[in-house]
Amino acid sequence: MKTLTRQEKGIKAAAYIVLALMSIMAVIPFWLLISASFSDSNYAIANGYHFFPKVTSLEAYRYIVAQWDQIGRAYLITITVTVIGTVCSLLISTMLAYGLMQPGLPGRRLITGLILFTMLFSGGIVPQYMIYSNYLNIKNTLLGLIVPNLLTNAFSVILVRNFFQTTIPGELKEAMELDGAGPFRIFFRMILPLSKPILATLGIMSAITYWNDWNNALYYITDTSLFSVQQLLNEMNNNILFMANNSAQLHGVDVTTLPTSTMRMAIAVVGILPIMIVYPFFQKYFAKGITVGAVKG
């Protein structure tokens, strides 16, 4: 075992200190968010938020639970969209990247150039909305929450292609071809099993995109039964703020009991909690995939 010099030990200790401080700085906002969601709304407005709530209250979560029929359905829709969208996104990105790394592919440079072009320029929201709504007819369907994000994977394709080129030996592919394996068998039996780090990386990135997405729901979903959890929570927050700001015009509604400020915190907690639970299980693959996939092949 190599003995570290005093200078190397100092650098290592400094690195641990910096990483510890950065970790604390990353955790503090989440801790304050969760603490604020359990605080009494009136006390928080008067005295601000604290890392440990001075006056606790569950009113914000009680309000969310009271709306759980809608929220539960929205969670189911969001989970369905996230799973289907992530799987389809991984298939599209990995299969396209695998095709682009084939030296004999006709027009490979042109296809790569077109993919890179989409990273720099966009057609804009208006033509995109017209195409999806008038020609593809995805408005008020689950496809309206899935399809738009499937067509913005240029970065993922480049990342996967670089991973394939720098990590998977060409000799393995040649050996399988000598054994009579075709492109699909090579892809599904060799390429994908050896690509767990980059698949986990793209999977968590795509899942976060789908889970947090509310723009597509805002553009293409008007049916409340198809609201995603992010869109529904945003609507709930807007409704509470509307009632609080128009209390004089609302008769028979006790708006003083609505947890307007802490409600926002509770909504944020409900929205991010599943991702916070799942992410640690993919963290090691995520870091490795980003490191290797970002290296130019």
Give the domains, in start order, of the chain with CATH numbers. Answer: 68-293 (1.10.3720.10)
> Mean per-residue pLDDT for 174-186?
81
pLDDT for position 84: 92
Judged by average pLDDT, the poorest of 127-136, 181-190, 246-255 is: 246-255
Q: What is the pLDDT of residue 283?
A: 66
pTM for this model (two decimals):
0.75
SS3 labels along the chain: CCCCCHHHHHHHHHHHHHHHHHHHHHHHHHHHHHHHHCECHHHHHHHCCCCCCCCECCHHHHHHHHCHHHHHHHHHHHHHHHHHHHHHHHHHHHHHHHHHCCCCCCCHHHHHHHHHHHHHCCCCHHHHHHHHHHHCCCCCCCHHHHHHHHCCCHHHHHHHHHHHHHHCCHHHHHHHHHCCCCHHHHHHHHHCHHHHHHHHHHHHHHHHHHHHCCHHHHHHCCCHHHCCHHHHHHHHHHHHHHHHHCHHHCCCCCHHHCCHHHHHHHHHHHHHHHHHHHHHHHHHHHHHHHHHHCCCC
- The region of weakest confidence among 72-76, 85-89, 166-170 is 166-170
pLDDT of 96 strictly over 70: yes
Across residues 237-244, what is the average pLDDT?
68
Lowest mean pLDDT among 40-44, 93-97, 259-263: 259-263
The highest-confidence range among 23-32, 64-73, 104-113, 162-171, by mean pLDDT, is 23-32
Indicate if the pLDDT at residue 193 is higher than 70.
yes
Mean of pLDDT over the chain: 79
Q: Which residue has the higher pLDDT, 254 or 158?
A: 158
Give the confidence band of 279 by pLDDT, cuts at 50, 70, 90.
Answer: confident
pLDDT score of 260 more than 70: no
Confidence of residue 185 (pLDDT cuts 50, 70, 90): confident
Q: Does pLDDT of 294 surpass 50?
A: no
Is the pLDDT at 17 greater than 80? The verdict is yes
115-140 average pLDDT score: 82
Compute the average pLDDT of residues 72-82. Answer: 88
Tell me: the pLDDT tens digits for 26-38? 888 888 888 888 8
pLDDT of residue 297: 43
**Model pLDDT, residue 295:** 47
**Mean pLDDT within 204-229:** 85
pLDDT of residue 2: 60
Where does the pLDDT of residue 285 fall: very low under 50, low under 70, confident under 90, or very high at 90 and above? low
Mean pLDDT of 235-253: 63
pLDDT reading at 238 higher than 80: no
